[in-house]
Structure 1
Amino acid sequence: MTGPAWPIAALLVGYPVWWALGFGGLSVILLAVPMAVILWRRRPIRVPRGFGLWLLLLAGYALSALMLSEMPPDTYGDFGAGRLIGYGMRLALYVSVLVVVLYLGNLTERELPQLRLVRMLGALFVTTVAGGLLGVLAPDFSFTSPVERLLPDWIGGNPFVQNLIHPTAAQTQKVLGYASPRPEAPFEWANAWGSNMSVLLIWFVVGWWVYGGRLRRALAVVLLGLAAVPIVYSLNRGLWIGLGLAALYLVVRVGGRTRTAVCAAAATGALVFALSPLSALVAQRLDNPHSNDIRAFTVSATIRAATHSPVIGFGNTRNAMGNHRTITTGKTPWCTGCGHPPLGSDGQLWLLIITQGFTGAVLYVAFFAGAIRRHWADRSPIGLAGVLVMGLVLLYMFVYDGLVTPLILYLVSFALLWRNSP
């Protein structure tokens, strides 16, 4: 694609290439540079309502750097390169997604039609389905990316960085009491795959079904059927709840024949699923809520730590002393499940609380809640979908870390809503 819309096409449609190179979600930092250049050349720059909230969020995160060397009670860790790298990458990502929003909002409909942007997200949905199937069929697939080969060990060896630059098909976890793969390709974590799948599925339906012809709709049915397999095998309760609430949202907000069609599609899908072997896997997952104890421990530890810097947080995560099973830490022959859970790792809300204090969490919620309030009256397909995504953002912040790729998709969805307003 030529013209000023090429950077967003490179990000969304070209994402599989970025993933294979080892950039993955970090590609948004690179592509934010040409986006910023395009913005600079077309001053004055339009800004959306709520823009000030994100600026305050950024300012708060900059201030939180003052606390990087501090250690709240009942946590441990060294103030070194790892902590600084994590802080710097998060700051760069927060700035980059803001550039993406401004860039998209300042492109004209002629330069980037709304439907084209929606279908770019649909293309990434197809990539996500393919990655999910890869995770189910070849869960051990992984390779060393070019970026991983080039980075020095003191950077590439950082666990946060390693997850971003090392392409893998799936995470193998004992969610069901035994080792089972959870798809994550082409994203950084299995939970990121779940969050992104739900957001991209919404835009895929808009672009391929609502605005699609007969052929697109036929292909959409096939792709949605294929998507059901990795969605179930992801063992991702947050994703399942999000999709259920999305269906309920549509039933409530649309009317007439559209509501009837949504109900019929949901009933048909539920019946097919109940009769398939996938239903047994879901039942097994619901019978094994082992992660609840881990989440309860890390969330409570995060809140306790944040009370020691409630306004600006600590700039980055810290490791908790002990875990949900023992007051000791570290793996031993008699406690292979013991470890050092990082605070804020169970959801964007908790990450914000530990890194930016309760102030950062309030600003984040206000930004997305404000978008829902302003655009609630927009009943166009893009308006309904955008408000739905904003609602999922507020749901997922309790269970999913927004960084890296989920936050990109959240903000692209926000930009679609902004562009759709009169």
Structure 2
Amino acid sequence: MRPAVWPIAALLAGYPIWWALGLGGLSIVVVAVPMAVVLWRRRPIRVPTGMGLWMLLLAGYAISALTLAENPPGTYGDLSTGRILGYLMRFAVYTALAVMVLYLGNLTHEELPQLTLVRLLGVLFVTTVAGGLLGVFAPGFQFTAPVEMLLPEWIGGNSFVSNLIHPTAAQMQHVLGHASPRPEAPFEWANAWGSNISVLLVWFLVGWWVYGGPLRRVAVAVLLPLAAIPIVYSLNRGLWIGLGLSAAYLAFRGRPLVVGTAVALAGTALVLSPLATIVGQRLDNPHSNDIRAFTVSSTVRAAASSPVIGYGSTRNAYGNYSTITTGKTEWCPTCGHPPLGSDGQLWLTLITQGFAGAALYVGFFLGALRRFWHDRSPIGQAGTLVMILVLFYMFVYDGLVSALSLYLISFALLWRNSAQPLGRHPAQRPARPSTQRPARPSRTGNARWAHG
């Protein structure tokens, strides 16, 4: 592996190490530094179509710092350390993601083949399945990470920061009326695990089944049933809907046999195992619906008071869906409700950057879906599926921190594929003698980009 490729390989294949260190999703900020060095040495830098929307999103977020000290109507709170830390963390992640996209797009296909990048995502899928199983069978597993030991209490003690740096196997929640674990390892919370495994599953199937040899296909046959266990025990309705959308997309794009086989196998597994009971119990206990309705409506009202630049960070609203007197207290530190903007990336962008920022976010991914829709290669179809999932998940999942990294890597794969598509596996098509003449060397002196 060439030296320039190590930052992305360290991010994806080395994710368990980042998680154990206490960096986890914030590892993108760390690896963005050597990525930026690689970019600096390769000037001029190529920029994909649509990247200007992300840069405007980043610029708008910088401006939103002006309103950090303000509170929209119906909310409360002072300009605290937690609010400032949350803002700085998001700004660093948004910036690091822009660096990562440019870095990936400016590596040649000789340095980083498309299939290598896809299979690195497949490795992270294996890690995610292992973390999910850990959350199901050892939900109490947790430990103090090195980063956690080094941070002062006024930073590490913040609940938002603690979620990011404290490794835990699962979140214990009363979704079914009693305490039940929802897997989250190696990510920051259970919903992040749900969105991430659905995206990683797409790339895992492309890299390990579509382009896989016999051993990789055996691994797929073993890992998919194992993945079904934490997927069901996650009690994650958004994840389940996302998988249904993925199946519908594959059927629409002309792969009904694959979809039919997968649905039949999944249905058989549910009927013959205790998983069907768990799914039924979850659907009968939609306890979070009222909470989401309250926070979403409050978020929209708050964003309307600063529609152009938002408020830079989340806010706490007075009351909840049933009373105006709820909130954290000294005797009940876990009481209250989620802050505004915590129920999906769209709502987070609304409260932090107003309607203008939300439009830029949606426009970035919607534009990618439109531009790359006609790429019929396996990577092209997988990437456009991920863009669809992003646009769905923005209503129910926060993209920050780890999920956005996977979304932007998928975008970079689409961009790179538009320059040199990776077609079907050679074993899946008959070999034909080439009738084309060898390509002439570039006269521009920039032959390094000929396959970029």
Q: TM-score, normalised by structure 1?
A: 0.97
Task: From the CA coordinates, give the structure whose radius of gyration is larger.
Answer: 2
Give the match for residue 17 of structure 2: 17
**Match of 2:265, as an amino acid?**
T
Residues 350 and 357 in structure 2, CA contact (< 8 A), matched pair in contact too: yes
For residues 340-382 of structure 1, the C-alpha deviation after alignment (integer angstroms, 9 at most, x for no partner) is 4300000000000000001111000000000000000001000
Does 2:134 align with 1:131?
no
Residues 325 and 338 in structure 1, CA contact (< 8 A), matched pair in contact too: no
**Match of 1:26, as an amino acid?**
L
CA distance in 2, matches of 1:322, 1:126: 42
Give the match for residue 285 of structure 2: 288
CA distance in 1, matches of 2:321, 2:246: 32
CA distance in 2, matches of 1:265, 1:344: 35
Q: Which deviates further from its counterpart, 123-132 or 316-325?
A: 316-325
Give the match for residue 232 of structure 2: 232
Does 2:296 align with 1:320?
no
**Match of 2:87, as an amino acid?**
Y
Q: What is the CA-CA distance between 1:215 and the residue it aligns to?
A: 1.5
Give the match for residue 46 of structure 1: 46
For residues 294-314 of structure 1, the C-alpha deviation after alignment (integer angstroms, 9 at most, x for no partner) is 000000111111111011000
Give the match for residue 245 of structure 1: 245
- 1:55-66 alignment runs, 5 A limit: 55-66=55-66
Give the match for residue 223 of structure 1: 223
Give the match for residue 157 of structure 2: 157
CA distance in 1, matches of 2:174, 2:413: 38
Give the match for residue 374 of structure 1: 371
The SS at the match of 1:139 is coil
Give the match for residue 174 of structure 1: 174
The SS at the match of 2:4 is coil
Q: What is the CA-CA distance between 1:337 and the residue it aligns to?
A: 8.1
Does 2:304 align with 1:307?
yes
Q: What is the CA-CA distance between 1:157 and the residue it aligns to?
A: 1.3
Residues 323 and 338 in structure 1, CA contact (< 8 A), matched pair in contact too: no
The SS at the match of 1:129 is helix
The SS at the match of 1:144 is coil
Q: What is the CA-CA distance between 1:80 and the residue it aligns to?
A: 2.1
Q: What is the CA-CA distance between 1:338 and the residue it aligns to?
A: 4.5
Q: Which deviates further from its counterpart, 321-330 or 220-229?
A: 321-330
CA distance in 1, matches of 2:149, 2:330: 33
Give the match for residue 406 of structure 1: 403
**Match of 1:182, as an amino acid?**
R
Residues 323 and 341 in structure 1, CA contact (< 8 A), matched pair in contact too: no
The SS at the match of 1:5 is helix
Give the match for residue 192 of structure 1: 192
Residues 60 and 309 in structure 2, CA contact (< 8 A), matched pair in contact too: yes
| Gapped regions of structure 1 (runs ≥ 5) | none
Q: Which deviates further from its counterpart, 346-355 or 156-165?
A: 156-165
With over 3 angstroms needed to count, the CA separation of the structure-2 counterparts of 1:317 and 1:334, relative to structure 1, is closer
Q: TM-score, normalised by structure 2?
A: 0.91
CA distance in 1, matches of 2:200, 2:262: 19
Q: Moved runs in structure 1, 4+ residues, more than 6 A?
A: 332-337
Residues 2 and 111 in structure 2, CA contact (< 8 A), matched pair in contact too: no
Give the match for residue 329 of structure 1: 326
Q: What is the CA-CA distance between 1:150 and the residue it aligns to?
A: 0.1
Give the match for residue 395 of structure 1: 392
CA distance in 2, matches of 1:110, 1:206: 20
CA distance in 2, matches of 1:219, 1:23: 29
CA distance in 2, matches of 1:334, 1:318: 22
CA distance in 2, matches of 1:97, 1:9: 15
Q: What is the CA-CA distance between 1:397 and the residue it aligns to?
A: 0.2
- 1:319-358 alignment runs, 5 A limit: 319-330=316-327, 338-358=335-355
CA distance in 2, matches of 1:275, 1:38: 52
CA distance in 2, matches of 1:17, 1:172: 24
Report the count of equivalent residues.
419
